[in-house]
Amino acid sequence: MTLLPKPRSVKEVAEFVQARVLGDESVQLTGIASVQSARRGDLIFVDQEKSLSGAMESQASAVIAGNFAAGKTNGKPVLLVSQPRLAFARAAQLLCAASERKPGIHPSAIVHHLARLADRVTIEEGAVVCEAARIGENTRIGAGSVIGANVNLGASCDLYPNVTIYSGVHLGDRVIVHSGAVLGSDGFGYVRDQATGRYEKFPQIGRLEIEDDVEIGANTTIDRGALDETRIRRGAKIDNLVHIGHNCEIGEDVVIAAQTGLSGSITIQKNVVFGGQVGVAEHARIEEGVMLGGQTGVLPYKILRGKGIAFWGTPARPLREYLKELAALARLARKK
DSSP strand pairing (261-262 vs 229-232): unpaired
Amino acid at 165: I
The DSSP symbol for 175 reads: -
Amino acid at 255: V
**What's the CA gap between 306 and 218, in Å, rounded?**
31
**What's the CA gap between 215 and 175, in Å, rounded?**
6
Choosing from 170, 243, 246, 283, the catalytic residue is 246
Indicate if 170 belongs to the active site.
no
Q: Which residues of 194-217 are buried (b: 16+ CB within 10 A; e: fewer)?
A: eeeeeeeeeebebebbbbbbbbbb
Contact 94, 13 (CB under 8 A): yes
Contact 220, 259 (CB under 8 A): no
Phi-psi group of 45: left, alpha or beta (phi > 0 → left; psi -120 to 50 → alpha; rest → beta) = beta
**Which of the residues are catalytic?**
246
